Amino acid sequence: MGISVRRVLFASVLATALLLTGCARKPQEETPAPRSEGLKIGYAEGVTVVEDPNALQKAVDEMMEKNQETMGLEYKNEALSDDGINFTCYIANALSNEYDMFIAIYGDEALTDELFLSGLLRPGTAFDHITLEHSLDPGSHTVYAAFTQVEETDGEQAIHAQVIVVMNFTVNG
């Protein structure tokens, strides 16, 4: 998957913390940087001192706590079928998750060819077989599975988080 979500979140938290700590400093007179050091970013003008020195740390702590929340993915990458419609597979809502989720599987990268759409799965439940909405030809197919967590607030359902993974569906021919 390239750069992990955890690394991106850590980098964004670090950048925000550095930016916010820069905002807490009093403006200093700009001194020209020696040419040998290269480009330097000067201090912002028109800023004020943070009223509560603990407010910055509290904001960083809250951001870190929110970013620690992750979605557990649990599935086998390979699904097999003899008829192109009924597939033996393992696709689950991991027991470690806090939210119900549904699974949508698409036959194309643009997510327009819907092959399967589940109802909600509670954490700790899984599919060991699925039936597609239309058949796949014999051979190996790359499909896109969207794991979507749903949270309910005041009787309304909303997407909490979503991760799309690539799977291999093979039809024996």
Q: Give per-residue pLDDT as tens, 4-23.
A: 444 544 445 445 544 445 54
Pair 142, 156: CB distance under 8 Å: no
28-42, 43-57, 88-102, 141-155: range with lowest mean pLDDT? 28-42
- In this structure, what are the phi and psi dihedrals at residue 75, rounded to the nearest 5 degrees? -165, 160
Residue for token digits 């700590």?
Answer: 21
Pair 91, 133: CB distance under 8 Å: no
* pLDDT number for residue 49: 66
> What tokens were used for 47?
């800023």
The helix or strand, by DSSP H or E, that contains position 75, with its residue range, turns out to be: strand 73-75
Nearest residue to 171 via CA among 143, 140, 142, 135: 140
Q: Left, alpha or beta for 38 (phi > 0: left; psi -120 to 50: alpha)?
A: left
* pLDDT number for residue 18: 47
Task: Write down the pTM of the prediction.
Answer: 0.61
State the chain's mean pLDDT as an integer: 80
Q: Left, alpha or beta for 49 (phi > 0: left; psi -120 to 50: alpha)?
A: beta
The amino acid occupying position 114 is: E
Q: What is the CATH number of domain 73-171?
A: 2.60.40
